[in-house]
Amino acid sequence: MSKVTVVGAGNVGATVAQYIAEKDLADVTLVDVVEGLPQGKSLDMLQVSPVHYHDRKIEGSNSYEATKDSDIVVITAGVARKPGMTRDDLLKINANIVRDVATNAIKYSPNAIFIVVSNPLDVMTYLTWKTTKLPHNKVIGMAGVLDSARFQTFIAMETGFSVEDVRAMVLGGHGDLMVPLTRFATVNGIPISEFVSKDKIDALVARTRDGGAEIVKHLKTGSAYYAPGASVVQMVEAILKDKNRLIPCAVLADGHYGLKDVYIGLPCVLGKEGLKQIVDIKLNDEEAAELKKSAESIRENIDKMNELLAVAAV
């Protein structure tokens, strides 16, 4: 039986746990520092099993001992930015949380594959890789799946075609500098430029980049979790079933696309080893420049995080 640990029992983490169990992919351990929270949510999910017909174990715990021998560890723990909090404040708080999670989880599951969801995502994935000292193929960030799903959704809404026939991929960092590849976006193999004007495509790209902020604006408090949760589970399923899915994920660029020593969204093949391959596709000059700009922004945040953590350690 496969086992997946989800650290962070908030909306995203709980949704990940629920989807994993309902898709009958693995037993799930839900961990959180808040006493009673993972226990209550996991018990509620467990009581869904007679309705959705699965026999997966779902356990909630405040201890990392319960995570022992996990095949995959999903890190969703962290805080959202609050009024009066600077980006540096958020970076420092979440870096300390994620570093603590990675340090504890790797003790009990040294062979696990780590999927990072905590924000700022690309930087936190880099931190998890450095903290766990795992091979880079076993530390992967979720963002490209979510950003691509948002792009696909908006294309379907604009064209009126089924989302089943829409294919699109978003590379780069998870933020304002993400890189939706409009040239490769299709409806059943037909470029979207056959159906949508250049101005409208630009508008779809802008809406994709603001996809998370748009949801936050509606909710007033909190942020998206259904689509992020489902996006994580697509990655989990690809790994556990060794499906060789070609999907965008935040991975360590080691010369790919002219980038080095930075975690960034690139086209990846996922299977039982985690990252099996980074696929090199030929970008045009504009796309390559956008990807480089995104990488530079991530690298700046990595440097800033290292400074903040070093100051805190003094």
Query: Are 45 and 191 within one domain?
Result: no
Nearest by Cα to 168 from 211, 118, 138:
211
Residue 130 lies in a domain: yes
Q: What is the pTM of this model?
A: 0.96
Residue count (the chain): 314
52 catalytic per annotation: no
pLDDT of residue 83: 67
Q: pLDDT for 254-276, tens place per residue?
A: 999 999 999 999 999 999 999 99
Query: Are 160 and 130 within one domain?
Result: no
Number of domains in the chain: 2
Confidence category of residue 1, pLDDT binned at 50, 70, 90: confident
Query: Are 237 and 115 within one domain?
Result: no
Q: pLDDT for 136-177, tens place per residue?
A: 999 999 999 999 999 999 999 999 999 999 999 999 999 889
Rounded to a whole number of angstroms, the CA Rg of the chain reads 19
Confidence category of residue 90, pLDDT binned at 50, 70, 90: confident
Q: Are 168 and 181 in contact (CB under 8 A)?
A: yes
Q: Are 269 and 279 in contact (CB under 8 A)?
A: yes
Q: Are strands 3-7 and 72-75 parallel, antiparallel or unpaired?
A: parallel
Residue 135 lies in a domain: yes
Residue 282 lies in a domain: yes
Query: Are 111 and 156 within one domain?
Result: no
Task: Give the CA distances from residue 289 to residues 86, 89, 257, in Å, rounded to whole numbers and listed in that order.
Answer: 28, 30, 10
Q: pLDDT for 3-56, tens place per residue?
A: 999 999 999 999 999 999 999 999 999 999 999 999 999 999 999 999 999 999
Percent pLDDT > 70 in the chain is 98
On the question of pLDDT at 314 being above 60, the answer is no
CATH classification at residue 48: 3.40.50.720
Query: Are 295 and 153 within one domain?
Result: yes
Query: Are 137 and 153 within one domain?
Result: no
Query: Are 61 and 153 within one domain?
Result: no
- Residue that finishes a domain, picked among 141, 156, 186: 141
Question: Which residue range is the domain that position 173 belongs to?
Answer: 144-303
In DSSP terms, which residues pair with 114 in a beta bridge? 73, 139
Residue 55 lies in a domain: yes
Q: Give backbone dihedrals phi and psi of 233, rounded to 5 degrees, phi first.
A: -70, -30
The single residue of 52, 54, 174, 218 carrying the catalytic annotation is 174
Q: Are 16 and 233 in contact (CB under 8 A)?
A: yes
Residues 6+ away with beta carbon under 8 Å from 262: 122, 126, 252, 253, 295, 298, 299, 302
